[in-house]
Structure 1
Amino acid sequence: MIPNTGSYRLANVRLHASLSPGLGAAFDRDGFALADITVTEGKIAAISAHRRAATPLDAVDLGGRIVLPCFVDCHTHIDKGHIWPRKPNPDGTFMGA
């Protein structure tokens, strides 16, 4: 469970190399490495290579689970943006398209 405090650490997480440039850790053949993420006031403050020492009290040990950012599907269909002259849809319905 995520602590309800201003600062905590997510320990023993797996991060992909594309999300952690400069992380001084050994990446496996799938491109993941063990890391610790420090969160302060709800924002990521630091990412560091996981230390196998005892997990501190302010940490949540994720046991090597993968951590990913919140993905947002922000794609668009540029080819669909200029079709009104060719195919108007005055009522805005699926069938009218």
Structure 2
Amino acid sequence: MAPIRPVSRGAGIAILSACGYREGEALMGGLASDIVERAILHAQRLSANASYQWPTARAALSRILEDLEQRARDDESLERLRRFIAEGDRASAERSGEC
């Protein structure tokens, strides 16, 4: 498996900003679920690209998840993001023959 490269906060903040989030503020209402939905859709679109690398996408998704866990700890959509990351891990392991 390729080493995980550092991801700037910019990748996650771009998705958060598109949902109306401003860094440092608490998340209100359905904003966390909107962020999760957009992050997953973005990762799925990127996966169609031949140069897509799961470790890089995983790092960005993990940063988004970490931020959301701090700001919307009880939001049910966080579990969906956790499952998506786990599924990506399994698929990546299968592609690389690690299973």
Same-fold status (TM-score > 0.5): no
Q: Which has the higher helix share?
A: 2
Q: Please give the range of the TM-score, normalised by the shorter of the 2 chains.
A: under 0.3
Q: TM-score scaled to structure 2, two decimals?
A: 0.25
Q: Which has the higher strand share?
A: 1
Q: TM-score scaled to structure 1, two decimals?
A: 0.25
